[in-house]
Amino acid sequence: MRILFITATRLGDAVLSTGLIEHLRQVFPAAGFTVACGPVAAGVFARMPGLDRVIVVDKRRFDLHWLSLWAQVVRTRWDLVVDLRGSALSLCVVSCRRAIMRGGRRPGHRLTHIAGAMGLPAPVLPVAWTAPGDRALAASLLPGGGPIVGLGPSANWPAKIWPAERFVELFKALAARLPGARAAVFGGPDAADRLAGDRVLAALPGAVDLVGRLSLPEAAACLARCSIFVGNDSGLMHLAASAGTPTLGLFGPTPASEYAPAGRCTAVAQADGPPGDAAMTDLPVQSAILAALELLLLDGRLSTVSTLVDSA
Topology classification of domain 135-311: Rossmann fold (3.40.50)
What are the residue ranges spanned by the domains of the chain? 2-117, 135-311
Tens of pLDDT along the chain (312 residues) come to 999 999 999 999 999 999 999 999 999 999 999 999 999 999 999 999 999 999 999 988 877 899 999 999 999 999 999 999 999 999 999 999 999 998 777 889 999 999 999 999 999 999 999 999 999 999 999 998 899 999 999 999 999 999 999 999 999 999 999 999 999 999 999 999 999 999 999 999 999 999 999 999 999 999 999 999 999 999 999 999 999 999 999 999 999 999 999 999 999 999 999 999 999 999 999 999 999 999 999 999 887 645 554 554
Which residues partner with 151 through β-bridges? 185, 230
Q: What is the DSSP string of 44-61?
A: GGTT-TTEEEEEE----G
The Cα angle at residue 17 between residues 81 and 63, in degrees rounded to 5: 60
pTM: 0.95
Rounded CA-CA distance 248/237 in Å is 8
Q: What is the pLDDT of residue 306?
A: 52
Count of positions (residues) in the chain: 312
Q: What is the pLDDT of residue 104?
A: 72
Phi first, then psi, for residue 47 (nearest 5°) are -105, 15
**Exposed, middle or buried, 248 (CB in 10 Å: 0-12/13-18/19+)?**
buried
| 2-117 matches 135-311 in fold | yes
Rounded CA-CA distance 204/118 in Å is 46
Rounded CA-CA distance 251/244 in Å is 20
Q: What is the pLDDT of residue 106?
A: 81
The CATH number given to 2-117 is 3.40.50.2000
